[in-house]
Amino acid sequence: MSEASPAAGPGRETVGTAFRKYLKPTMAFMLVLGFASGLPLMMVFSKLSFWLREAGIDRASIGGLYAVSFAYSLKFLWAPAVDRIKIPVLRSLLGQRRSWMVLAICGTSLGLFLISSTDPAVAIMPTVVGALVLAFSGATLDISVDAWRIESAPNDEQANMAAVYNLGYRFAIMFSGFGMVIAGATSWHFAYALMAIVMLTIGAIVIVFISEPEHADRLKDEGKSFALKVKDAVIEPFWQLVRKFGIWILPVAGVVTLYRISDFTMGVMASPFYVDLGYSRETVGWIQGVLGPWPIIVGGFVGGFVAVRYSLMPALIAGGVITLLTNGAFAGLALAAGPDLDVVANAVSQGVAPPPGAEVHTPTVWALMGVIVADNLAAGYVGSVFIAYMSSLADRQFAATQYALLSSAYSFFCKLAATTTSGPLSEAIGWAGFFTVTALYTLPPIALIIFIMRYGPDRAKGIRKDEPEDHPDKDFA
């Protein structure tokens, strides 16, 4: 029986065949859409937290404000609308996926413009409103882009599509890093307004150049009652996952939910950490914008290649180990800053002068560069293999809804943990202890992956077979 998944043919992929896949037009389109998905999240996440820390906002409040990104975690709630609702005029001109992309891109531009007009040092609520608009629109854009990706390539190219998606995403990180440099030379207001214009430009590219995919067969709504339409659009995609995996839905959900928790919980505090270490926005911006993204790109393509050649589960385990080591490196950076780092940081948060003689020994730029490069290499690799795994779990008939559910499952839990624990935990045990604890969060998902590798059926491992999707495999009985 033939297999068609990112893990279907271990050992068959060669460098030449892998390279030829990246020459297809869909890969170029995926690059642009990956950039469009990444920019809003970067501007509402790391860049905004840097601005807030500079404005004197305490760490706990910054961590709490990260709650606006729950829009990305709850996007499964309106994913059925993206799958089903036809936007007047736009749907007939652009198609289902592109029409929603254009609408979401306009929303992200509006959110960026709103943030650019605020000053969090004076009043933080207008900034929060702009962040909410940006996060909701960015999450909607993610839904449509993920559905476009799944529908635009066969299963055995999903890992490659994930790698290109990550490449575009990392270009967005690079560009947002330049945004910090621009903010240092001008202002945060100008930088956010510039990002809004960039998003509108991408919207024009979607309209003119990017093609609409051939959609999987959709359930017909004509003649159906409202209750039946809700069942088909909302309940059926979720229930189909349960039927497909049976009892193995539990360990699979555990892997999906926990695999990225280390990155989320430490990531929300990375920018405030750089500020407390004494680095300027220009320094961080240049490293993130010029050097930092390239290891992510390399890691993303390595992850895509490894996932195809050696199967997804070993690739996921390797990603967990790499994450443990690279996230732990941040603790080493905190230790290098000296024993007074937390004393000075807490004094700044309270708006008082540090104790006499207390000082932070800012590590060299080379040390910061090494930690960021290592972390980005791991992030690129982990991003590719994780997206490929989740893509292999989603059925094409419910691409937008099921993938949104899977991605929401991990982002909701991880962001909840980051929002509620990262700020208070970093203040309670200090920067070094915080990064050590969050690095150890990788151990439970690694254990679950090993369990699935040893005892689980093919579908739980991300391997699809050419069999009916609406009947559970006998291995799940």
Q: What is the pLDDT of residues 131-151, one digit of tens each?
A: 899 989 998 998 888 888 878
Residue 90 has a CB neighbour count (10 Å cut-off) of 17
Q: Are 181 and 286 in contact (CB under 8 A)?
A: yes
Q: How remote is the C-alpha of 112 from its chain's centroid?
A: 19
Where on the phi/psi map is residue 278: left (φ > 0), alpha (ψ -120 to 50), or beta?
Answer: left
Report pLDDT for 317: 93
Nearest to 460 by CA among 217, 249, 172, 177: 249
Q: Are 5 and 462 in contact (CB under 8 A)?
A: yes
The 3-state DSSP class for residue 293 equals: helix
Report pLDDT for 225: 56
Residue 154 has a CB neighbour count (10 Å cut-off) of 10
Report pLDDT for 216: 46
Compute, in degrees rounded to 10, the torsion defined by CA atoms 344, 345, 348, 354. -10
The band of 109, judged by pLDDT with boundaries at 50, 70 and 90, is very high
Question: What is the rounded CA–CA span in Å between residue 178 and residue 92?
Answer: 37
> 123: which residues sit within 8 A by CB, 6+ positions away?
none
**Structural domain spans, the chain:** 15-476
Task: Supply angle C-alpha 317, 322, 325, rounded to 5.
Answer: 130
What's the pTM value of the predicted model, to 2 decimals?
0.64
% the chain with pLDDT above 70: 84
Q: Mind spelling out the 3-state secondary structure of 73-114?
A: HCHHHCHHHHHHCCCCCHHHHHCHHHHHHHHHHHHHHHHHHH
Question: What is the rounded CA–CA span in Å between residue 457 and residue 357?
Answer: 61
DSSP bridge pairs for 465 = 3
pLDDT 10s digits, 279-303: 887 888 788 767 766 787 788 778 8
Report pLDDT for 8: 40
Nearest to 391 by CA among 150, 141, 35, 30: 150
Question: What is the rounded CA–CA span in Å between residue 277 and residue 348?
Answer: 12
Q: How remote is the C-alpha of 452 from its chain's centroid?
A: 24
- E strand residue ranges, 348-406: none
* Domain 15-476 = CATH 1.20.1250.20: yes
